[in-house]
Structure 1
Amino acid sequence: MTSEQNGKARATLIGFSAVALWALLALFTVGAQPVPALQLNAMCFAIGGLIGVVWLAATGSFAILRSVPLRVYAFGTAGLFGYHYLYFSALSLAPPAEAGLIAYLWPLLIVLFSGLLPGERLRAGHILGALIAFGGAALIVAKGGISASSDALPGYALAFLCALTWSGYSLVSRRFGAVPTAAVTVYCLATSVLALGAHLAIEETIWPATTLGWTSVLALGLGPVGLAFFTWDIGVKRGDIQLLGTASYAAPLLSTLALILAGFATATPMIIVAAAMIAAGAFLAAIAGRRR
């Protein structure tokens, strides 16, 4: 394996660490209840942004932020804030299972549209692997069944826009490969400000009532809504984006396993089937990525 291949594999692994962190999102969100969604985002993205500030201060790298064009900051902020605002709006207008499943089309869209990126080639194995993994994720996300309703069409539309937003953010980030990952610091802080404004406009402020609640908010800001966006940036810019997209379907599986271990969910045979499908899909995508 060449040094370039080693670097790509390492970046892919770093990117997948974001998926592993996002698997803890549901667990910590349960612990942070009853904090409203937008308020929670404002708090957590502020913590995530502070991670970047501390890192920049420790490395003396603040000057690097001046080299980033304002349009890139606007793009990154729109990606992070837009995705989360659309996601929570979709879940408020449509049944969570259906809306969540539609929103979770983003890994499949990453795989499908990655062939448009310079130096990337989309193969049949990538598509098949992503579809199989999506099927495994669907078993978990829509475990309560699907009952489509015309009244929920606005929510479904927002969920699809949500999927387009995150897949677009991830793919365009690859085109901005020269932009330093430090820019994510600004994305997070700006998203926190926008989320705060939206919260004050439409939500009632409710603070965590227990030590567990505050600990959950801190954990969210440090991991799933903080460090994860920095490692995802590295992965989509320098890693195997097709494999990363397919492997992202492990997030709902890992999330369910975390809830089971914490006692918030029960293990079922469906989990085993879903795990097998997600693993098979990732394997197919990995094999396709090795072919030249």
Structure 2
Amino acid sequence: MMNDKLNFKAFRVEEENEKFSSAIKEMPFTELEQGEVLVKVYYSSLNYKDALSASGNKGVTRNYPHTPGIDAVGTIVSSTSNKFNNDEAVIVTSYDLGMNTDGGFAEYVKVPENWVVKLPKGLSMKEAMIIGTAGLTAGMSVLRLVETVKPADGTIVVSGATGGVGSVTVMILNKLGYKVAAITGKETEKQYLLDLGADEVILRKDFEALQNKPLLKPLFAGGIDTVGGIILENMIKSTNPLGVVTACGNAASIKLELTVFPFILRGVSLIGIDSQNYPMKYREQVWNKLADDWKFDNLEANSTTISLDELSEKLSLMLAGKLKGRTVLKLV
């Protein structure tokens, strides 16, 4: 069928008696429906949602067996779409990929045409997955922030700065000439963040310990938050008048305990980032920027490449908060 192959390898998560296990399995090809494409996956990447899905989190993936992987890049080998041709290099991220639709931790993935973006000139496949959903989310956040806040306005504070979204955010902002204050809970990673482009590093425990007041001393022109909870609260309360804060994560908490004072006394704007269903028009815009004027020189230095055999171990480390930067899965 596809290069005369009858089956392909995939990282499968299975459930038995409410217990979950994972293994590399041989999977059969299935027929394409109208408007679908089959992509030979060259690279995928690890994201927190993937780790949750692989651990059996029913809030991410309802039914098992399942193949996680919310990112994939490769070439189209079969298509019922008028938008894409065979051998075309493409990126597939977010939507339902890897959540309730089998994802990129496999040699092949079948997806609707509306989930697919052409790989921009200026990006290799590996670079696209170093960026991945995490970098795309970072790019969406930066895109909204820079509409209002300029480098001359002051420092931008970034939370979860050693993680996938945070680390790419630090690099993009540095590339664009912004001063960056990076928040991290990892005291040993200060030099890593300075090397990425941060101008200063703030320990998470210190930022969380700021006084519990409706408003705090204005310190930042804007902020990009990836964790939620008290970090986001304090970020909003310490943002300058007319500053902008974006929010894209809730690992710390889904709750936000604030007064309206930052918004009505300082005019601070809070912008939510939904990378899963971000409109294709803006998705393509961000990818093109990441391939061109937002592209940074030390992209490879912020990544580790692994094989399918190493995937289970790395997903466990991600759940434990012991990975930094981006982890790329090589399939070809």
| TM, length-normalised to structure 2 | 0.21
Q: Whose helix proportion is higher, 1 or 2?
A: 1
Q: Whose strand proportion is higher, 1 or 2?
A: 2
Query: Which structure has the greater CA radius of gyration?
Result: 2
